[in-house]
């Protein structure tokens, strides 16, 4: 082998060896921009995670950059960063590698649909206009140096606000509801909020219940009854809810006829306008040996809330017969008689 051939081969081997060993070494983060992560659940199923590197207002050399972040450290508009393939790059909305955002389920960002998955998060920063939030399908690039608009999965206009001073770039979830939240980037004196929502969180729960009922939850009457009650309370999929309720009552080896299961079934029948079946089932529920005084009283209160004063009084009277001198029997009678205008009797029991 000639010396001319050996020398390039040796250099190549040294380079490969050096690169291999470099991958085995954990070094401090570039620029001391610590990695950070924040996760927020929307309800108990859907969640959002933002993963980012967090620069600070004070430069690595110790200089205070207050008043120099926006428009200088983070330039306005799209820029040629002098490296990589992007000639018009947005800000990486953090430091070092891609800032990423992960959605466990299909969601809405600023009202626009985005599929479940992980996306690179970028922003086009502007001096006096709304900023542009960009979610890119490219999640593995280093920052925005290789940004390509064709990879965009979503763009939305977001309005920056003046905010409390933050030394470190931080993402927080500043407002939270069962089906939505507001995420916000906060750094120096800026706050950039954007909304994230689940389009139909009730459907999400119901789909999940369908799956859970095919597993451990389906081996107890409580699981079927809880699912039926959830659909009832949200006034949706009532035919399916009735099937679940019937399983809770009578599924072989699993169903159990008791006050809870019969009441759920009766209420669903009532919502479906199957009035006669509903009354029969609910009467069976309040007369069932498992019906305690508190449960019967609660059912009577429910009838009062529905404007069924006469039926409510019948239930309160039944409770008095089954459970005399038991809390809250007298309270129920007082409410029942008052509801039908028999105030002397109501006062007696009060």
pLDDT, position 30: 76
Candidates 152, 95, 88; CA nearest to 120 is 152
pLDDT, position 128: 92
pLDDT, position 15: 43
d(CA 170, CA 184) in angstroms, rounded, equals 8
d(CA 181, CA 194) in angstroms, rounded, equals 9
d(CA 79, CA 188) in angstroms, rounded, equals 22
pLDDT, position 23: 53
The answer to whether 211 and 78 have CB atoms below 8 angstroms apart is no
d(CA 276, CA 259) in angstroms, rounded, equals 18
d(CA 33, CA 54) in angstroms, rounded, equals 5
Torsion of CA 72, 74, 80, 81, to 10 degrees: 100
d(CA 240, CA 87) in angstroms, rounded, equals 55
The answer to whether 224 and 251 have CB atoms below 8 angstroms apart is yes
Q: Average per-residue pLDDT in the chain?
A: 92
pLDDT, tens digit (0-9, with 9 covering 90-100), for 109-158: 999 999 999 999 999 999 999 999 999 999 998 889 999 999 999 999 99
Prediction pTM value: 0.84
């Amino acid at each position: 082998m000639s010396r001319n051939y050996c020398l390039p081969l040796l250099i190549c081997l040294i380079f490969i060896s050096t690169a291999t060993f470099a991958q085995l070494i954990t070094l401090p983060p570039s620029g001391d921009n610590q990695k950070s992560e924040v996760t927020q659940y929307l309800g108990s199923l859907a969640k959002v995670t933002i993963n980012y590197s967090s620069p600070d207002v004070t430069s690595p050399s110790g200089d205070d950059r207050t008043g120099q972040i926006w428009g200088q450290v983070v330039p306005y508009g799209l820029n040629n960063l002098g490296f990589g393939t992007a000639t018009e790059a947005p800000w990486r909305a953090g430091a070092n590698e891609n800032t990423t955002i992960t959605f466990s389920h299909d969601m809405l960002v600023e009202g626009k649909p985005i599929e479940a998955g992980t996306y690179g998060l970028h922003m086009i920063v502007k001096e006096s206009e709304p900023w542009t939030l960009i979610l890119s399908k490219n999640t593995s690039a280093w920052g925005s140096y290789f940004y390509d608009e064709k990879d965009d999965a979503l763009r939305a206009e977001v309005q920056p606000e003046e905010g409390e001073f933050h030394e470190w770039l931080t993402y927080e979830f500043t407002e939270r509801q069962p089906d939505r939240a507001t995420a916000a980037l906060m750094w120096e004196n800026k706050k950039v909020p954007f909304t994230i929502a689940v389009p139909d969180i009730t459907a999400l729960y119901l789909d999940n219940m369908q799956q859970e009922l095919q597993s451990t939850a389906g081996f107890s009457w409580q699981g079927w009854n809880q699912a039926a009650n959830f659909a009832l309370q949200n006034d949706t999929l009532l035919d399916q809810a009735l099937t679940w309720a019937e399983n809770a009552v009578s599924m072989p080896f699993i169903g159990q006829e008791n006050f809870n299961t019969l009441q759920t079934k009766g209420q669903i029948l009532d919502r479906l306008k199957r009035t006669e079946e509903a009354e029969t089932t609910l009467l069976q529920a309040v007369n069932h040996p498992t019906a305690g005084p508190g449960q019967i009283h609660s059912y009577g209160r429910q009838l009062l809330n529905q404007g069924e004063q006469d039926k409510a009084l019948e239930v309160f009277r039944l409770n008095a017969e089954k459970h005399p001198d038991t809390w809250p029997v007298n309270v129920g009678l007082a409410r029942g008689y008052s509801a039908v205008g028999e105030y002397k009797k109501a006062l007696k029991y009060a």
